[in-house]
């Protein structure tokens, strides 16, 4: 679809969150269709996880985003979908790959939302495809267990914070979950949640560096808990790490069932977003260093540095591999 002014920031770059939302919608359609392709219990595919996603080039207002999706692996109870986004300038005809994303969906029964139904197996062109898919499946399963344990953290506000400290840029946003945010099962679309997460992360990044910023990448996101229609969700973001030219922001989503529900507030999702700051000509700008104050902040900064160096090493290994 054509990118509109409302999809973009003041510099005309389309929000990463808008693109994540389109990706997730495409993934939800293809996996729901697949899971209902054989006689069996009607079901709706719910997003369980998005793998790390890089935004390779910014999309601008007026460009057309082309989204294509393909099922690349199925386990007994989950579907892996690969989604590619191309942006196309329909005036010049120029096309660019914007990003490639991998998503995992789990089919939930339409009659009983707590029941996961079986996924019809797909046919693989080659045996290795199945093996590689199985490997990815095992890896993400492990990773999901790990993040589940790290999810107790809260963000507390700071009074009169100094510029460039963590407290200075941290932000939260409240959203009341409406009908258009939800699937047929009455739970929030993963894409809606990701769009809100990107919005908060973008506000944190812009507050820190006071310039035009764009999403560079999103780390793997696990959706542990469903969020029901009518809930209030609080999306909070804080900066964890800065390199010379990038910022890492941790985002939490907490849900409050809020009406007619005995349940307490719970952590539904958390993720790391990386942002870069761009000049008017689209060149990366230096980013002010994050000032850490508490022991916790210093620890998180070091962990962020670890993730940053790991990603950098991985990318260089890929470049070398490609050059060979």
Q: Is 9 known to be catalytic?
A: yes
Q: Is 198 known to be catalytic?
A: yes
In angstroms, give the least distance from the CB of 54 to its own copies. Answer: 23
CB atoms within 10 A of CB 166: 23
For its own copies, the closer of residues 147 and 211 by Cβ is 211
**Which run of H or of E encompasses 182?**
none
Say which of 7, 36, 99, 198 is annotated catalytic.
198
CB-based contact 58:15 (threshold 8 Å): no
**From 47, 206, 276, 287, residue interacting with its own copies (rule: CB under 8 A):** 206
Report if residue 263 touches its own copies, rule: CB under 8 A: no
Measure the CA–CA gap between 181 and 192, rounded to whole angstroms. Answer: 6
Report if residue 309 touches its own copies, rule: CB under 8 A: no
Q: How far is CA 287 from CA 117, 125, 213, 242, 279, in A?
A: 47, 46, 10, 7, 11
Measure the CA–CA gap between 189 and 234, rounded to whole angstroms. Answer: 16
Residues 6+ apart with CB under 8 A from 66: 85, 86, 87, 88
Binding segment for its own copies (CB under 8 A), chosen from 119-127, 130-138, 228-236, 301-309, is 228-236
For its own copies, the closer of residues 98 and 140 by Cβ is 98
DSSP 3-state of 203: helix
**From 146, 152, 156, 281, residue interacting with its own copies (rule: CB under 8 A):** 156
Report if residue 1 touches its own copies, rule: CB under 8 A: yes
CB atoms within 10 A of CB 209: 20
Applying CB under 8 A, the residues found at the interface with its own copies are 1-2, 4-6, 9-10, 25-26, 28-29, 32-33, 36-37, 42-44, 61-62, 64, 88, 90-93, 110, 156-157, 159, 163, 171-176, 178-180, 184, 199-200, 202-203, 206-207, 210-212, 229-230, 232, 256, 258-260
């Amino acid at each position: 679809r054509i990118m509109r002014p409302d999809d973009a920031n003041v510099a005309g770059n389309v929000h990463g969150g808008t693109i994540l939302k389109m990706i997730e919608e495409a993934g939800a359609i293809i996996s729901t269709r697949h899971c209902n392709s054989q006689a069996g219990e009607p079901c709706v595919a719910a997003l369980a996880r998005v793998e790390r996603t890089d935004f390779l080039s910014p999309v601008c207002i007026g460009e057309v985003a082309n989204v294509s999706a393909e099922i690349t692996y199925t386990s007994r109870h989950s579907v892996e979908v690969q989604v590619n986004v191309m942006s196309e300038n329909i005036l010049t005809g120029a096309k660019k790959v914007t990003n490639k994303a991998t998503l995992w969906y789990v089919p939930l029964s339409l009659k009983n939302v707590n029941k996961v139904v079986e996924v019809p197996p797909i046919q693989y062109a080659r045996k290795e495809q199945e093996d590689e898919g199985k490997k990815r499946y095992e890896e993400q399963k492990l990773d999901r267990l790990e993040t589940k344990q790290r999810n107790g953290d809260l963000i507390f506000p700071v009074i009169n914070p100094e510029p460039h400290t963590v407290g200075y840029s941290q932000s939260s946003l409240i959203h009341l979950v409406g009908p258009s945010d939800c699937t047929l099962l009455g739970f929030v679309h993963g894409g809606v949640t990701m769009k809100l997460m990107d919005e908060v992360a973008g506000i944190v990044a812009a507050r820190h560096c006071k310039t035009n910023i764009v999403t560079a990448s999103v780390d793997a996101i696990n959706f542990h808990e469903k969020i029901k229609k009518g809930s209030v969700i609080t999306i909070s973001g804080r900066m964890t790490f800065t390199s010379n030219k990038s910022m890492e922001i941790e985002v939490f989503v907490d849900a409050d069932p809020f009406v007619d529900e005995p349940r307490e507030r719970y952590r539904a999702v958390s993720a790391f977003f990386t942002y870069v700051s761009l000049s008017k000509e689209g060149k990366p700008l230096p980013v002010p260093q994050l000032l850490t104050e508490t022991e916790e902040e210093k620890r998180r900064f070091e962990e962020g540095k670890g993730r940053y160096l790991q990603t950098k090493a991985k990318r260089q290994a890929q470049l070398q591999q490609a050059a060979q």
